[in-house]
Amino acid sequence: MASILKFEPVPLDDLQSGYVHAPSSSSIEHDPYTPFQYAEDESTKSLRQNVVDDKDPTQHMSTYLPGLGNPRRHTPSWSLNKSQNWTLELACVFISLACMAALLVLFIYFDKKPLSSWHFYFSLNTVASTLGTTAKSSMLLAVGSAIGQGKWQWFYNNPQPLRDFDVFDEATRGPLGSIRLLWTLRARHLAVLGALVTIISVASDPFLQAVVNYEGRLDNVTLSGSETDPSALSRGFVARANRWAGLNDFAYTQSTSLELDGNTYTSYPKREDFGTSSAFYSGTSSYNDAGLNGSTPYFSCPTGNCTSPIYTSVGVCSKCADISESVRTAEVVDGQPEAYLRSEENFATAFMNFTNYTIPNLWIDNCCVANDSGYTSYMTATLSLRPEDTNAFQDMETMLAAITFLRATPVNGSASKYKDTLPAATECALYLCVNAYQSNVTNGFLTETLVETWATRVPASYDASKEQPSGVEITNASAVHSDVWMPPYQQLYINRSDYQLSVPTDGNKKPTFGPDTTFAVSQAAIVTFQDFMSGMFDSTVGAGNTTRRAHELAYGDAAIPFYTTPIMQPFVGQAHQPVNMTDMFARIAASMTSNVRNAAAAAAAAAGPSSRQPTTVLRYVLHFRVAWPYFALPLGTALLGALYALHTVHRASRPAGPPVWKSSMLASLTHGIDARTRDRLRLLPLDTQRELAARTYVRLRDADGAIELRAAPAAG
**What are 414-441's pLDDT values in tens digits?**
445 555 677 889 999 999 999 999 999 9
pLDDT of residue 86: 87
Please tell me the distance from the alpha carbon of residue 10 to that of residue 692, in angstroms, as a whole number.
Answer: 14
Structural domain harbouring 20: 1-73
Q: Which of 73, 106, 124 is the last residue of a domain?
A: 73
C-alpha to C-alpha distance for 62 and 601, rounded to whole angstroms: 107
Give the pLDDT confidence of 217-240 residue by residue, as tens digits: 888 876 655 444 444 445 788 899
Residues 54 and 172 in one domain: no
Identify the pLDDT of residue 481: 52
| Residue 78: pLDDT over 80 | no
pLDDT digits (tens, 9 = 90+) for 488-528: 444 556 777 889 999 887 655 556 676 778 899 988 888 88
User: Do 366 and 400 belong to one domain?
Assistant: yes
CB contact at 8 A, 519 and 312 = yes
CA distance 385 to 402: 6
Q: Is the pTM of this model over 0.85?
A: no
Residue 479 Cα distances to 15, 323, 402, 498, 499, angstroms: 134, 34, 25, 19, 19
Read off the pLDDT of residues 353-402 as tens digits, 9 standing for 90 and up. 777 888 887 887 765 544 445 556 677 888 888 898 899 999 999 999 99
The per-residue pLDDT for 52 is 41
- Average pLDDT, integer, range 79-103: 83
Answer yes or no: do 101 and 55 share one domain. no
What confidence score (pLDDT) does residue 396 get?
A: 93
Q: What is the pLDDT of residue 139?
A: 93
Residue 111 has pLDDT above 70, yes or no: yes
Which range, 30-44, 98-112, 562-576, 682-696, is most confident? 98-112
CA distance 249 to 271: 8
Distance CA 650, CA 90 (A): 11
Tell me, yes or no, whether 492 lies in a domain.
yes
Tell which of 73, 95, 128 closes a domain: 73
Does 61 share its domain with 193?
A: no
Query: How much is the pLDDT for 135?
Result: 93
Q: 336 and 484 in one domain?
A: yes
Can you spell out the DSSP letters for 172-232? TT-HHHHHHHHHHHTTSSTHHHHHHHHHHHHHHHHHHHTTEEEEEEEEE---SS-TT-TT-
pLDDT > 90? residue 303:
no
Of 294-298, 403-407, 619-623, give the lowest mean pLDDT range. 294-298
462 and 357 assigned to the same domain? yes
How many C-alpha atoms does 292 have within 13 Å on its Cβ side? 5
In a domain, 340, yes or no: yes
Confidence band (pLDDT; 50, 70, 90) for 165?
confident
Give me the pLDDT at residue 27, please.
37
Tell me the average pLDDT of the chain. Answer: 74
> Of 26 and 173, which is predicted with more confidence?
173
Q: Are 612 and 237 in contact (CB under 8 A)?
A: yes
Question: Do 463 and 486 belong to one domain?
Answer: yes
Query: With pLDDT > 90 as the criterion, what percentage of the chain qualifies?
Result: 20
368 and 262 assigned to the same domain = yes
Q: Is the pLDDT of residue 97 over 50?
A: yes
The pLDDT of residue 631 is: 92
Residue whose C-alpha is closest to residue 430's, from 467, 393, 464: 393
Asked whether the predicted pLDDT for residue 706 surpasses 80, the reply is no
Same domain assignment for residues 407 and 270 = yes
* Predicted confidence (pLDDT) at residue 336 exceeds the cutoff of 90: no
Other Cβ atoms closer than 10 A to 580: 11
Q: Which of 304, 302, 284, 282 is nearest to 293 (CA)?
A: 282
Confidence of residue 586 (pLDDT cuts 50, 70, 90): very high
Give the pLDDT of residue 650: 86
Count of domains observed in the chain: 3
Burial of 194 (0-12, 13-18, 19+ CB in 10 A): buried
Tens-digit pLDDT profile for residues 2-18: 444 444 444 444 444 44
Is 616 a residue whose pLDDT tops 80? Answer: yes
In order, the DSSP letters of 108-125 are HHHTT-BGGG--SSS-HH
For a pLDDT cut of 70, what percent of the chain falls above it?
64
| Bridge partners, 107 (sequence order) | none
Residue 261 resides in a domain = yes
The residue type found at 19 is Y
Whether 701 is covered by a domain: the verdict is: yes
- Residue 168 included in any domain: yes
Determine which of 248-262, 594-608, 650-664 has the lowest per-residue pLDDT on average: 248-262
The per-residue pLDDT for 572 is 73
Q: Which of 270, 642, 295, 236 minimizes the C-alpha distance to 439?
A: 236
Give the model's confidence band at 288: pLDDT under 50 very low, under 70 low, under 90 confident, else very high: low
Same structural domain for residues 669 and 580? no
In a domain, 607, yes or no: no
Same domain, 527 and 574: yes
For residue 96, pLDDT beyond 80: yes
Please give the pLDDT value at position 360.
83
Asked whether residue 616 is assigned to any structural domain, the reply reads no
Is there a domain that residue 431 lies in?
Answer: yes
Residues 158-168, mean pLDDT to the nearest whole number? 84
**Both 265 and 388 in a single domain?**
yes
**What one-letter code names the amino acid at 606?**
A
**Could you give phi then psi for residue 321, rounded to 5 degrees?**
-140, 140
Domain's final residue, options 560, 588, 616: 588
| pLDDT, position 320 | 96
